Chains A and B, each alone.
Chain A
Amino acid sequence: MTVAPSLLGLLGLVPAAHAVDGEVAIRIGGRTEPEAALEQPAEWEPAEEFEPAALTILSARVGHQDGDGPWWRVSGAAWGVAPEGESSLLSLTPQAGVSSLAGPWRLDVAGRTDLQAYVVEEGDASSVRGEVFASITRPSDRWIPRLSVVGIARQYPIQPTWSFRSVEPAVELTYRRDDGWVRWTGSGQANHHQDVLGTQVRTGVTMGLTGAKAELWGGYGLIAAQGGGTQAAARPPFTPLGDYAADADALSAGGFLQHRVDIGTSMFLGDWTVRASGLARLRQSVQLDPATFDRTGHGQLDVERPFGGPWTGVATVGVSGARLVGGGSYTDVYGWLGVRWTPRKADDEG
């Protein structure tokens, strides 16, 4: 709860600066199986019943952006969960980036740190996650090539055996038109976990159709992983806010072939903004450790509507689940309603 007031203070200091904006939001809702995302997969029982929980989320964000110049954004959230409070969480995520032009090329460098603390009882899943990214792009109206590299390091202070690092250089080619785009990506990835090195080869295609008020997109990705330690399965694949898709795919876990499908849409329907997305993974592991997941699925629908002035109503429903090779599984259904306060909107309308 200490995070949000400090962000509020920061927000109060800078409301007049043109390119600085921010928001504060509170949401109330529930999850059916929040604990599943904290337990080691090896502990999942095929018929385990997780306790549903009510939750309150207080979140805040402040950021700065001014055209193509440097940008930064700091977001924080406090998740209070009851009656079982193990998955109550504080998070703070500062991130920043800068870009520059060199002839026809655009250079981008960005970084992000994610601090997550489970402050009630279970601290195992508390972590510090860092991510750095650099890319060189040749922008154009149609064909856009890009070379990039991203590095991820996640440290679990209480469970250091869960910590890992990965680096992924990638090449990407996008073809863009007014009404849509197609992007091919190819990359190599190396990951390090418990002194064991794993590697991956990745490729994927994403595409989107963009209209005046709606966008529909989807993609397919393939990962061929080699090496790495099978202990990877000891780490919880997902945490409530440690929600990075990249982390579930990071470790080679003894080798696997994984198919991944993404689909989503965003729509501006009058005053309503609607976003929906889904993600599914199907993994064929070389070593059939019973605690290795063989499929996961996620879906979320977000709806927003301004109430007038700085106030916006927000609602979310979603489902997130995983199934292990050994039969253990969970399906976490969640939803929350809330209100968001955005001071810049009040200024703009004034």
Chain B
Amino acid sequence: MALLLAWMVGLAAAQGTPDDAVLRQQQAVEVAAQAVAAARADGAKRSVIAELMKHYRAEATELDALLPPLDATWEEERRARLQAVIALGEALAAGKSDDDAAEVLAAWLGEPSDRLTLLRKALASTETAPDTVRAAVQADVAEQATALSVWLAYDAAEARRRAEKAQLRAASLRRSGPGQGVGISAEVEAQQLEALALVETTRSATLSTLRTDVLALRAEAAIPRESP
């Protein structure tokens, strides 16, 4: 962990800070995507979802226009990660799956709770650091927190969707009409599906809570520190 932290601080300083405008726009895209996902989860009307989707698309287009040209290998890697974040935001807004993008972020960020701990330590370690290093680390933390937040929102939405599908199937299995009632095997399957739905609903809530912590950390990283 210490080695990773040192590497992260060093890398942030060496690579320079992520573009502020890109970062801000990335966050705006995430907020818009999350708004669409929340509306879908709440069963909002098509017209409401279409309006939110339109806003999301506008934000995503603006982000695309802000992306700078590539001139270094590490920038290509960062671009690939950023593209994965954008793709996951798109999947989140559209209510679809994107396993490839999720895998890119999983390979980058690892276990979300471990990454959150690492980012907290990285931010805390800059208390006595020079301004340039502190600014670089803050920006890097904000960038990673944004990616983590999108990933968690996507994963929470996926878990919620799996839970709803399991509940739908269970509802279909429990037919009770005269002459239509189902046997014990269907009841066993319905119980298994409801158990799965319970697990996925709990997972979704846990991921949402973790995301709240990530957003708090990102807000902390965005606060300018007073010079010593």
Contacts and interface: CB of A to CB of B under 8 A. Distances in A.
Physical interaction between A and B: yes
Interface stretch (A65-73, A157-165, A194-202): A65-73
A154 to B, nearest CB: 12
B203 to A, nearest CB: 12
Given A65-B198, A111-B184, A212-B95, A238 B178 contact: yes
Interface in A86-118: 95, 97, 99, 108, 110-112
Interface residues of B, number: 33
Nearest to A248: B179
B188 interface: yes
A132 interface: yes
Contact of A178 (B97, B181, B184, B188): B97
A150 B172 contact: no
Given A71-B191, A110-B187, A277 B175 contact: yes
Contact of A112 (B161, B168, B179, B184): B184
Given A212-B95, A212-B164, A243-B181, A277 B43 contact: no
Interface string A177-218: 010000000000000000000000000000010101111010
A237 B167 CA distance: 31
Contacts of A238: 178-179
B180 interface: yes
A257 B173 CA distance: 25
A298 B192 CA distance: 27
A40 interface: no
A270 interface: yes
A270 B178 CA distance: 28
A241 to B, nearest CB: 8
A296 B178 CA distance: 11
Contacts of A108: 188, 192
The DSSP consensus for interface residues of chain A is strand
B5 interface: no
B180 A245 contact: yes
B175 A68 contact: no
B181 A148 contact: no
A300 interface: yes
A240 interface: yes
- Taking residues whose C-beta sits less than 8 angstroms from the other chain, chain A's interface range is 35 or more
A300 B95 CA distance: 31
B199 interface: yes
Given A110-B187, A110-B188, A271-B43, A243 B169 contact: no
A341 interface: no
Nearest to B174: A275
B209 to A, nearest CB: 16
Interface in A129-170: 131-133, 135, 148, 150, 152
Nearest to B165: A210
B176 interface: yes
Interface in B158-216: 161, 164-165, 167-169, 171-172, 175-185, 187-188, 191-192, 194-195, 198-199
Given A65-B194, A269-B43, A244 B181 contact: yes
B155 to A, nearest CB: 15
B40 interface: yes
Contacts of A242: 181
A279 B185 contact: no
B185 A268 contact: no
A73 B174 CA distance: 13
Nearest to A130: B184
Which of B161, B184, B195 counts the most chain A CB atoms within 10 A?
A: B184
B187 to A, nearest CB: 6
B195 A65 contact: yes
The 6 A-B residue pairs with the shortest CB-CB distance, nearest first, are A243-B181, A300-B177, A270-B43, A238-B179, A266-B171, A215-B168
11 contacts: A71-B195, A108-B188, A150-B184, A244-B182, A245-B181, A264-B175, A270-B44, A277-B180, A298-B179, A300-B175, A320-B179
Given A37-B178, A95-B184, A210-B169, 12 more contacts: A65-B194, A95-B187, A99-B192, A110-B185, A208-B169, A214-B168, A215-B168, A266-B172, A270-B44, A298-B177, A298-B178, A320-B177
